[in-house]
């Protein structure tokens, strides 16, 4: 079994419990956490004793989204606010997620059920991660949020306002 640093992997009662384990960072998703999650899913696929997976988060959040504070290892050719490589289109980014076998989409197509046990915040990418599970169970304390959607809507409204001012 691999030595995980950002997740916990525990086999129990015919299943596997995978816990996002960065409670001090509200389980913000880093590239290394994604890699560890993929390794754990590889392990589940190879283990015939494991019939299902439960995915949850340690502490007071399922996941606060992508780790924005960890600048180490961030690609220098990405630009803000879109987070895509300079010169790359949004369609190319979406298509790369479609064809990359090491992304969250793999969970949709996973051969064993993945149950998301959501407690606390599930923001941005954490919210998307919860939606990629086959069954999502939310506690009374679960909060789902898409801050980037709010940002995009606000920016679109600002553009419409600017255009309408120009027309008047």
Residues 6+ away with beta carbon under 8 Å from 143: 120, 121, 122, 123
CA angle 44, 127, 76 (to 5 degrees): 90
Yes or no: say if 63 and 131 are a contact pair by the CB < 8 Å rule: no
pLDDT in tens, the chain (168 residues): 679 999 999 999 999 999 999 999 999 998 899 899 999 999 999 999 999 999 999 999 999 988 876 554 555 565 555 556 677 776 776 666 655 656 677 888 899 999 999 999 999 889 989 989 999 999 999 999 887 655 555 555 555 555 555 555
Task: Supply the pLDDT for residue 45.
Answer: 95
CA distance 130 to 18: 13
Please give the C-alpha separations between residue 30 and each of 20, 33, 44, 92, 161, in angstroms, as whole numbers: 11, 5, 21, 22, 36
Question: Count of CB atoms within 10 A of residue 100's CB?
Answer: 11
pTM for the structure as a whole = 0.76
Task: Supply the pLDDT for residue 27.
Answer: 96
Task: Supply the pLDDT for residue 155.
Answer: 57
Q: Which of 20, 23, 46 is nearest to 32 (CA)?
A: 20
CA distance 59 to 121: 10
């Amino acid at each position: 079994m691999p030595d995980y640093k950002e997740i916990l992997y525990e086999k129990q009662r015919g299943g596997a419990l995978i816990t996002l384990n960065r409670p001090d960072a509200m389980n913000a998703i880093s590239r290394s956490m994604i890699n560890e999650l993929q390794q754990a899913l590889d392990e589940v696929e190879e283990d015939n004793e494991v019939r299902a997976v439960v995915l949850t988060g340690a502490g007071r959040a399922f996941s606060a989204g992508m780790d924005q504070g960890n600048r180490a290892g961030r690609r220098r050719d990405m630009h803000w606010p879109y987070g895509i490589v300079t010169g790359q289109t949004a369609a190319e980014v979406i298509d790369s997620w479609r064809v990359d076998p090491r992304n969250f989409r793999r969970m949709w197509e996973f051969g064993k059920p993945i149950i998301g046990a959501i407690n606390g915040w599930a923001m941005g990418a954490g919210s998307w991660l919860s939606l990629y599970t086959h069954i999502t169970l939310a506690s009374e304390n679960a909060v789902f949020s898409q801050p980037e959607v709010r940002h995009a809507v606000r920016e679109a409204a600002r553009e419409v306002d600017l255009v309408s001012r120009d027309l008047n």
